[in-house]
Amino acid sequence: MITVLEVIKRSTEFLAGKGIEGARLNAEHLVGHALGLARMQLYLQFERPLTEAELERIRPLVRRRGLHEPLQYILGGVEFCGLKLKVDRRALIPRPETEHLVELVVERRQSAPPQDVLELGTGTGAIALALAARYPAATVTAAEIDAGALALAAENAAANGLDGRVEWVASDWYAALPPGRRFDLIVSNPPYLSEAEVAETAPEVRNFEPTGALTPGGDGLAALGQIIAGAPARLAPGGLIALETGIAQHEALRAQAAAAGLEGFESVPDLTGRPRYVFARAAG
């Protein structure tokens, strides 16, 4: 009989041979998921023999990871700002950089919590739901052009007890929002990679995550430019716009923000010190 520890070791060797980084950690996550056990629980059952039925649940998961399918898609979920979000190929996997964007927004709004929030390009709904949970008195709207992603976001709202807290709008950025509707906070993690950068990403990214959520094409600036150009007409006086961006785009974005009439441009690094976030305010 094969034990829990033995199947972890064999899975680790298989994944390492396929070039998977962190092969042992991946193996533990996959085995634990198949057995319905947390990783720490596995350690208490290393010597337990596995049944053939249990092995049959583990094998396809390990094979999928060996093909470089993202671990989060295989496990079916990810934690984000205290929420448990369902993830699949309908939307980009929420990342720690985007969690930090939410943290930075909260820092900047400590003295004046936002009352009317807009997220553009919501994907899984991560940012909108995190802000809805953080600001229960706020009205939160989330726009998304992809119908599959919008459905996933609504599923995540229901799963986290936030059903009805976010208005989901099928929209190409601002296009379908009611005329004249303004917000005191606009947040977005839009597609910002260049085509060349997407080609250089890991196979987990370029072969599995939706390309439209990664890049708008070309130099990667098109979506950010549209959002910045449209922000003054959608921000309340003094309202804040917060964006996750590429690390080589801030000078171009500074110029675009100035051309749009936005004030107080900030370039903020991520936790690795790279310029990742842009903040600016509407006049007023």
Least Cα distance to 123 among 196, 223, 204, 36 occurs for 223
Output the pLDDT for position 254.
98
Output the pLDDT for position 97.
97
Output the pLDDT for position 1.
86
Residue 165 has pLDDT above 90, yes or no: yes
Domains annotated for the chain, with CATH where assigned, are 4-67 (1.10.8), 87-281 (3.40.50.150)
Q: Tell me: the pLDDT tens digits for 19-37?
A: 999 999 999 999 999 999 9
Average pLDDT over residues 206-234: 97
226/257 Cα distance (integer angstroms):
11
Confidence of residue 105 (pLDDT cuts 50, 70, 90): very high
Output the pLDDT for position 279.
98
